[in-house]
Amino acid sequence: MINSHSDLLNAYDSGRHHCQRVLKNAGSTGDTHWLDLSFASGQPAYDARIGPALALLPIVATGNDAIYFPSIPATQTRHLHRVTMRPQANNASQASIDFALYDLVAVYPLIDGDSIDPQEMDNTLALPRYSAGAGLRLVMVNHVAPGVQNGRMLLEYTDGDGVDRTAALGVPNLGVNKCVSGVQASLTTTPGPLFLSLEGNGVQRVNRITYTVPRGGLHCIYVVKPLAQFTHWHDALLQADVTGVKAAIEVDFALKDGWRLPIIKDGAHLGFFYRPNGGGRTVTMFGDLEFIWG
């Protein structure tokens, strides 16, 4: 574990660190909307998050199919020390970008937005990490554009303490590749929070979905472990020209969160959600993540 400044320095002195670049062509539009960076080309490559319909699909990173990090001895713990992001917008009006780094633990793909019948989830396979579900959250993403303005659903799930729960949730129409987690029991096109609003300590599994107001399209529910969230502010004084922001943000978690460096488990499938604010489409993102272990 990395618990102190001395531990951190020793990890670097001993060569227990790795810097991994990320390059994405994030061409999606959606001011104030959360979007999934996995749908953009670049490194890591495009990932559509598909699999057997309504079946929990465990996600384990292999090679470069997500943000790469090297293997470590079983007796050690891997941490994320720093993140640097350099987003560029297509004009100078973009005020900020919010980032949320997550470990994609599993997905429930190809949920039918046209059906009003209960859609039973197949939980034959197990979660590959965080098996008890504590700390896991759900994010709902559009995979195919919906045919109606908005919708509403009942989501039945088992929380991290093994308690079965039901939540009435709005499903706003925000377009392809956008997070449509919505707000509780509302019918709205207003961008909602990133995570579905649920009770309990995490999520062990989703049991079924029932659309009470179907909205069309196909959706996917992500089971994620949130790891970090931060904002890149676009300071006008730092812009190189009107084509977008050239300044970078660096987040040092040892300084930002008092040595609570995010733990990166073996097999973690790392990705980013992002939310542009204030206008201006983000066209490219380049960054790097610094991992250490001990």
Residue 237 pLDDT: 38
Q: How confident is the model at residue 146 (pLDDT cuts 50, 70, 90)?
A: low
Q: Regarding predicted confidence, which is higher, 97 or 11?
A: 11
Residue 199: how many CB atoms within 10 A of its CB? 10
Residue 238 pLDDT: 40
> What pLDDT, in 10s, does the model give residues 198-234?
999 999 999 999 998 887 788 899 999 999 988 766 5
Task: Give the mean pLDDT of 42-62.
Answer: 92
Question: Residue 261: which of 82, 14, 98 has the closest Cα?
Answer: 82
114/148 Cα distance (integer angstroms):
10
Residue 26: how many CB atoms within 10 A of its CB? 24
260/195 Cα distance (integer angstroms):
22
Which percentage of the chain shows pLDDT scores above 90?
49
Task: Give the mean pLDDT of 153-164.
Answer: 96
Q: How confident is the model at residue 103 (pLDDT cuts 50, 70, 90)?
A: very high
Residue 38 pLDDT: 85
Strands in 282-293's sheet, in edge-to-edge order, are 41-43, 17-25, 282-293, 78-89, 249-252
Query: Residue 28 pLDDT more than 70?
Result: no
Which percentage of the chain shows pLDDT scores above 70?
82
Our measurement of the distance from residue 159's CA atom to the centroid of its chain's CA atoms, rounded to an integer in Å, reads 19
**Angstrom distances, CA of residue 115 to CA of 119, 153, 170, 239:** 8, 11, 16, 48
- Report residue 36 as tokens: 């999934």
* Residue type (1 letter), 282: T
Q: Is the peptide bond before 172 cis (omega within 30 degrees of 0)?
A: no
Buried b (16+ CB within 10 A) or exposed e, 264-281: beebbbbbbbbbbbeebb
Residue 239 pLDDT: 43
Q: Regarding predicted confidence, which is higher, 288 or 248?
A: 288
The percent of the chain in helix, strand and coil, each rounded to the nearest 5, is 5, 45, 50
Outline where DSSP puts E strands in the chain. 17-25, 35-36, 41-43, 57-58, 78-89, 96-112, 119-120, 137-144, 150-159, 164-172, 203-213, 218-233, 249-252, 270-277, 282-293
- Report residue 214 as tokens: 């179907």
Contact 79, 2 (CB under 8 A): yes
Residue 40 pLDDT: 81
Task: Give the mean pLDDT of 134-148.
Answer: 83
Cα 205–Cα 117–Cα 119 angle in degrees, nearest 5:
20
Q: What is the pTM of this model?
A: 0.90
230/253 Cα distance (integer angstroms):
11
Contact 152, 172 (CB under 8 A): no
Residue 29 pLDDT: 64
